[in-house]
Chains A and B, each alone.
Chain A
Amino acid sequence: MIYNNAMLIRRDLLARMCKLMFEGELKEKINRLPLEMVPRHSKNTRCCVHKERAVLKYSAMGILGFNVKDEEDEFMPLSEYVQMAEDRTEFTDVMLTVVDVACSSCVKINYVVTNLCRTCVGHPCTFACKKNAISIHGKAEINHDTCVNCGMCLDACPFNAIIYQPVPCEESCPVNAISKNENGIEYIDETKCIYCGRCLESCPFGAIIEKTYLVQITNALKSGKRVKAMFAPALLGQFQDDPEKIIAAIKQIGFDEVIEVAKGANETTRNETLEFEERMEQGQPFMTTSCCHSYTRLVEKNLPDLKPFVSDTKTPAYYTAEMIKKEDPDCVVVFIVPCVSKRHESYYNPNIDYAMSFEELGAMLVAKQIEISKCEDATCDTTIHASGRGFCYSGGVADSVKQFAKHPEKIKEILIDGIDKSTLRMLRQLPQNHGDANFVEVMMCKGGCVNGCDTLVNSKIALRQVKKVVK
């Protein structure tokens, strides 16, 4: 997670919406919410209160589970989207939506001539530009219609007067899945997206929002059905309290049972260890982990050569959900996730009904005024091997496999800690160039799931907290 004002506004909105949901007043009061959050004379961070309110309205539409770009009638109030969300039975695998009114403030051309331009006689920038896009009018000017973003002018300027201004979401996307459409609004190409959530975190305008199932989840909680929550291991790092208290707090929200996905992680380790030993016996050079859904999407969409080396073992969430549904087929299973990619994975898992992020869980706790430290201790599942809880940080999966392996000394691991342009190159070359390593642990986020895009606290704090329960 990235701590900034955009994130604080989003959390405030989530908490207020959760409160209205729990009180059963969402439909009556949601239209007024943007006004309440941004009263007429409030200091605003965008151009005016009206824009701020419009951004909140469309963010709320996203939170209700709809794509902002699917809006047909601009006059349609949020209350109607609430009704549609309540009646909804079909969902899609699109998890992120661009709030177009918040977007569009970024440059189309990344090269900008600053006022450091000295209007020098030599003007090497015009000589360097192959497209004749620079002309001198008092200072150098870049023609946005002819510029092709090559950056030659930047290299040529002896005064460093030309800068490269990145577009944060585009810059952060490791697979170039987000780009501007003809109106200058960012568009996410679903065929390329690997659901890492970097764009969501990086946009300082808060223009990308995650669609949620909050309406469906709160309705399920009120319906009298048995609703069971399973939470990703990284959750134990999000608060300063013991697992017993965190579990109790989730129960206090209204969940009938709370299960640690660390339990399924043990199953993943068991299977992955066997698979690894089998593959090594067959003479395969190496195997990579498969628990990070973003990574497996990356392989699917961008690194087909790596596919034969990816473990076929299922994710911890898969085994956990399977166990829950086997025992109680009629219950509703909600997966509490640290990132967009796990939400995407949940959509394709028939044993998981809904997913909600750590942030949404936080919003629910705020809305219900639950103080975790004051909750009565619940019981933890003592059959869980602690290494399963370590799946959420870099090195944790490899450690767990080593603890389960018959011959841990034979495991020579490489840790891919976060995927960026350089580790992507490394992954691409892995089949040819893996040294003597035979086990490759891959995590999309730097540091692991404790640094997922939907986490509540920074990853250093979360890691310290999680390590307390792994030992």
Chain B
Amino acid sequence: MSRITVEICVGTACYVMGAAELLSLQDAFPSIEEEILSFKGTNCLDSCTNPTCGKAPFVRVNGNILHAVTVESLKKTLHHELERLK
């Protein structure tokens, strides 16, 4: 089990709204080992059908669901998480 798990929702709504690009973000952290940071696609998190959850795409980082995630915002979040591990 990695210390930071990034689960990217690849349900249709998230995929259309840019989740496909988030999956390629793993390449942005080449020196981080998989034991520390792991990326994976996940089936629909069912957040998209609930308007109070915010906007697609959704990503779960260590159990917390983030909404309207972009490559930019996810990079920021993960750098922050990595910083906390130090």
Instruction: Show the binding face of A for B, using Cβ within 8 Å.
Output: 3, 5, 8, 11-12, 15, 239-240, 249, 362-363, 365-366, 369-374, 456-458, 461
Contact = CB atoms under 8 A, between A and B. Distances in A.
Contact of A369 (B13, B20, B71): B13
6 contacts: A15-B16, A362-B16, A366-B13, A373-B12, A456-B20, A461-B23
Contacts of A365: 12-13, 16
A370 B12 contact: yes
Interface in B53-71: 55-56, 70-71
Nearest to B70: A8
A461 B71 CA distance: 16
A240 B56 contact: no
B42 to A, nearest CB: 11
Contacts of B18: 3, 8, 11
B77 interface: no
Interface pairs A-B: 5 shortest CB-CB: A362-B16, A457-B20, A366-B13, A3-B21, A372-B12
Given A5-B70, A363-B16, A369-B49, 10 more contacts: A11-B17, A239-B12, A240-B15, A365-B12, A366-B16, A366-B17, A371-B11, A371-B44, A457-B15, A458-B20
A239 B16 CA distance: 8
A460 to B, nearest CB: 8
B55 A12 contact: yes
A371 B20 CA distance: 15
Interface in B30-65: 41, 43-44, 48-49, 55-56
A448 B4 CA distance: 37
A31 to B, nearest CB: 21
Contacts of A461: 20, 23-24
B12 to A, nearest CB: 5
